[in-house]
Amino acid sequence: MAGKNKSYLGLIEKVFEEYIFDLRDKNDKLQDHSNYVYRASSSGMCIRKNFYSSMTDTEEVKKPDRRTYRLFRLGDQVHQDIQSAFEQAVNKNKEYKV
């Protein structure tokens, strides 16, 4: 029985990874990589890193592994949930004590 559960987990992992990579490919196609855009999340980074990120003919040194892509996806989902919660709070015009 334990072996059967392990094979199900392997199947679930494989299906989920394929889904994540398909999302990544779809997002890459939507983004225009030929025109660098300065983003607010880059503001605290090293100025050299921002400069080299703006160069379009650079190669990515190391691609994240499969586990990292799964963690990125979880982070995206948490971010989306938090963003939705704040949008809901704003739409309700509630005031929260800070």
Decide if 2 is inside a domain: no
Residue 87, domain member (yes or no): yes
Q: Is the dihedral of CA 26, 61, 51, 35 positive or negative?
A: negative
Give residue-wise pLDDT tens across range 22-81: 888 888 777 665 666 667 777 788 888 877 777 766 566 678 888 898 999 999 999 999
* Residue 6 is assigned to a structural domain of this protein: no
Q: Are 34 and 56 a contacting pair, CB within 8 Å? A: yes
Using an 8 Å Cβ cutoff, are 4 and 15 in contact? no
Alpha carbon of 83 to those of 4, 67, 74: distances in Å?
A: 39, 24, 14
Domains: count for the chain: 1
Domain annotation covers residue 72: yes
Element (H, E) at 81: helix 66-91
- Do the domain assignments include residue 78? yes
- Tell whether 11 is covered by a domain: no
Q: Provide the residue range defining the domain that includes 72.
A: 62-93
Single pTM value for the model: 0.51
Residue 69 inside a domain? The answer is yes
Residue 19 lies in a domain: no
